[in-house]
Amino acid sequence: MLTVKNLTVAYDDTPVFSDVAVNFNAGKITGIIGPNGAGKSTLIKAILNLIKIKNGHIDYDGQTMKSVQKQVAYVEQRKDLDLIFPIDVFDVVLTGTYGKLGLFKNPGKAEKKLSQDALARVSLTEFAKRQIGNLSGGQLQRVFVARAIVQQAEIIILDEPFVGIDLQSETAIMRILKQWRDAGKTIIVIHHDLNKVHDYFDDLVILNHGIVDFGPTNEVYNPKNIERAFSADLSSVLFAEKEGVQ
């Protein structure tokens, strides 16, 4: 279990959130939802050790995040990537092996095999030699999921993986997430589309400058929490629609 306790993060003394406490369970796909600026990316960046935390404690089964750093895979937002870089799909996936290789060792046969298998799992084998700027958004997202596969991590964190991608890619990525879950890994997904929350996530963390609620999706995804995190309007629209359809 990944445990966050008393976490406070501040940029220039303005706290994004303070005293956040939340757990992420192994063998579950956990969604993080909340309005823009609620601190979703900040929370995962703290977990990933990418930003300095002001206060608090994060551990994974009692070990510090630094000591399990090589067990964490991160699929960042596509908009943060350099799409004109001279690198092809296969070589991007291969960078997933770098962490465990360490310095002074280059990827060999075993690492290349891993990368090929990962590409096959996301159905991109035929695109292996293509420069990454020449892919659709969905294909590109699958490339970075393939890199996470190659990392063979226990904790996988994805930041808005489903934004602006085709349905086929979304389904393919969801299938991989479920395979990871069934293998007992901890999967954390920042998500914005509230409609699919029930279908996608076992657990849910609702965030708005602090934890609104967290727990099994069935229990915490309710009108009251959505109203607290977002707005009464959104809550009534979402839940009215839902009842209408069902």
Partner 1 sequence: MASIVEFFNALTKYDFLQSALLTAVMVGIMSGIIGSFIILRGMSLMGDAISHAVLPGVAVAYMLGINILIGASIFGVLAALLIGFVASRSKIKTDTSIGVVFSAFYALGFILISMAESSTNLHHILFGNILAVSDSDIMTTAVVLGLVILFVVTFYKELLVTSFDETYAKTYGLKVQIIHYALMLVLTLVTVSALQTVGIILVVAMLITPAATAFLWTDKLNVMLILSAVVGIISAITGLYFSYTFNWASGPAIVIVAASLFALSFIFSPKQNFFKLKRSVAR
Contacting residues toward partner 1, per CB under 8 A: 48-50, 66, 69-70, 72-74, 76, 80-82, 85-88, 91-92, 95, 98-99, 101, 103-104, 106-107, 131, 147, 151
List beta partners, residue 73.
156
Report the amino acid identity of residue 99.
Answer: G
Closest CA to 125 of 139, 105, 106: 139
Q: How far is the CB of 126 from partner 1 (least distance, A)?
A: 16
Cβ 160 to partner 1 shortest distance, Å: 14
Within 13 Å of residue 90, how many CA atoms lie on the same side as its CB? Answer: 13
Ramachandran angles phi, psi of 196, nearest 5° = -100, 5
Nearer to partner 1, 9 or 206 (CB): 9
- What would the two tokens of residue 19 be? 């005293």
Q: Which is nearer to partner 1, 137 or 223 (CB)?
A: 137
Beta strands in 50-110 (DSSP E): 55-60, 63-64, 72-75
Q: 86 or 244, CB closer to partner 1?
A: 86
Minimum Å gap between C-beta 98 and partner 1 is: 6
What torsion, rounded to 10 degrees, do the Cα atoms 224, 35, 77, 48 define? -70
Q: Work out how close the CB of 49 gets to partner 1 at its nearest, in angstroms, rounded to a whole number.
A: 7
For partner 1, which is the closer residue by CB, 77 or 125? 77
